[in-house]
Amino acid sequence: SSLGLVRHLWLLTLVTALQNCLNKQQLLAAIRQMQQFLKGQETRFAEGVRVMKNRLITLQNSVTKAAPDPQSVSCPALDAPMDGRRFGTKYFVDHEIHFTCEPGFQLTGSSTRVCQANGSWTGEAPRCKVISKCLSNPCQNGGTCVDGVNQYKCTCPQGWTGENCQYQSQTDVNECEVYKLEGAPRLCMHACVNVPGSYRCSCPSGYKLLGDGKSCEDIDECGLSQHNCSRGMTCINTGGGFQCVSAECPRPSGNASYVKTSPFQCERNPCPMDSRLCHHAPKSISFHYLPLPSNLITPTPLFRMATASAPGRPGPDSLRFGIIGGNNRGHFVMQRSDRQTGELILVQSLKGPQTIEVEVDMSEYLDRTFQAKHVSKITVFVSPYEF
């Protein structure tokens, strides 16, 4: 080694100096030579150390810069976009995650993202956007498109109709007005409602629209038990409503008194033989309830009254009919329709809503002698409508 060589040279010089009894000058020269030799050795040594240091730094740099261990790096977790799905669950370097959207949605951003060595994902976060059906401008003729999920709706300007406003609506054809004219067929039984391009009929309350779309039919509240008549009252169905009625027999008067023989019939109790007044009081009183529409065409028969003599007994040989009471008597006449029957006839049309009572009687005669009188009390419920 160089140190061994130095030591060797040093010894050699010393021995030579001693042997040759070198003078001071010669010895100093030898020492200088040794010093220069050592200095050279020192320089070379330092150079070797420097090279070694540099090599170590280079190695260190190259190790630092080298690719990191792939298994030790991962990217942050990724979620599926709203209304979409995610495929792939590994978040290590070089792994891929794929994204799709539900039907009706469109993916924006990256459908595939790769985990990079630096721990971040490539691309952008995916989003699922509703596919706009309005983008293709489906609404024609100036219609406005409104987007919905998987569908759209056109709001058409006036004069246009149809899903895409493609049809010209029949502007200014108001069927209700057209058919109101004299002589035109009646469109609706009650009210006509004009709607764009068409019309519909409506019925007043208490009526229902029939399947033909134009006729109104009264709702039978009594039959359907939709009434609120208290116990002891009888429900009478009327056009557009119902009435709760209760037939009351007359109070006893003189010797005449009555007993109810059915909900709508009163019979007079037997009279004392000598009571003429009692014999002339009605032998029977019956109650009748007639629902009628408004504005009936007149004359029209409303009610018939006939004798009802007991079988086997001789009946009356003549009858006399008359109107004996009630309001609005001018609306009715009572006339004989055959030998046995009298008819109450409406001669002036009635306009509802109103309730009219009329009382008719039938007197029986035998050999021109008064036998008995029967009274019918008729209550007419006139509907507000002509149906």
**Pick 220 or 267: Cβ nearer Ca ion:** 220
CB of 274 to Ca ion, least distance (A): 50
CB of 210 to Ca ion, least distance (A): 15
CB of 383 to Ca ion, least distance (A): 9
Q: Is 381 in the site for Ca ion (CB under 5 A)?
A: no
CB of 226 to Ca ion, least distance (A): 9
CB of 220 to Ca ion, least distance (A): 6
**Pick 218 or 343: Cβ nearer Ca ion:** 218
CB of 202 to Ca ion, least distance (A): 17
**Pick 237 or 286: Cβ nearer Ca ion:** 237
Q: Which stretch, 149-157, 173-181, 211-219, 318-326, contacts Ca ion (CB under 5 A)? A: 211-219
Q: Is 292 in the site for Ca ion (CB under 5 A)?
A: no
108 DSSP β-pair partners: 127
Q: Which stretch, 123-131, 234-242, 338-346, 348-356, contacts Ca ion (CB under 5 A)? A: 234-242
Q: Is 237 in the site for Ca ion (CB under 5 A)?
A: yes
How many residues bind Ca ion, per CB under 5 A?
Answer: 2
**Pick 222 or 333: Cβ nearer Ca ion:** 222
What is the β-pairing status of strands 284-292 and 369-382?
parallel
280 DSSP β-pair partners: none
Q: Is 218 in the site for Ca ion (CB under 5 A)?
A: yes
Q: Are 364 and 319 spatial neighbours (Cβ–Cβ below 8 Å)? A: yes
Q: Is 352 in the site for Ca ion (CB under 5 A)?
A: no
Gyration radius of the chain over CA positions:
61
CB of 253 to Ca ion, least distance (A): 36
CB of 370 to Ca ion, least distance (A): 42
Q: Which stretch, 52-60, 229-237, 314-322, 377-385, contacts Ca ion (CB under 5 A)? A: 229-237
**Pick 237 or 379: Cβ nearer Ca ion:** 237
Which residue in the block uniquely carries the two structure tokens 């058919």?
179
Q: Are 387 and 239 spatial neighbours (Cβ–Cβ below 8 Å)? A: yes
x/- map, 159-198, Ca ion, by CB under 5 A = ----------------------------------------
**Pick 292 or 362: Cβ nearer Ca ion:** 292
Q: Are 27 and 15 spatial neighbours (Cβ–Cβ below 8 Å)? A: no
Which residue in the block uniquely carries the two structure tokens 């006139």?
382
CB of 241 to Ca ion, least distance (A): 5
For Ca ion, which residue has the nearest CB? 218
Q: Which stretch, 117-125, 141-149, 235-243, 311-319, contacts Ca ion (CB under 5 A)? A: 235-243
**Pick 121 or 387: Cβ nearer Ca ion:** 387
Query: If we measure between CA atoms, which residue out of 85, 99, 103 comes closest to residue 151?
Result: 103
**Amino acid identity of 91?**
Y
**Pick 159 or 293: Cβ nearer Ca ion:** 293
**Pick 219 or 247: Cβ nearer Ca ion:** 219
x/- map, 311-350, Ca ion, by CB under 5 A = ----------------------------------------
**Pick 221 or 343: Cβ nearer Ca ion:** 221
Chain positions contacting Ca ion, by CB under 5 A: 218, 237
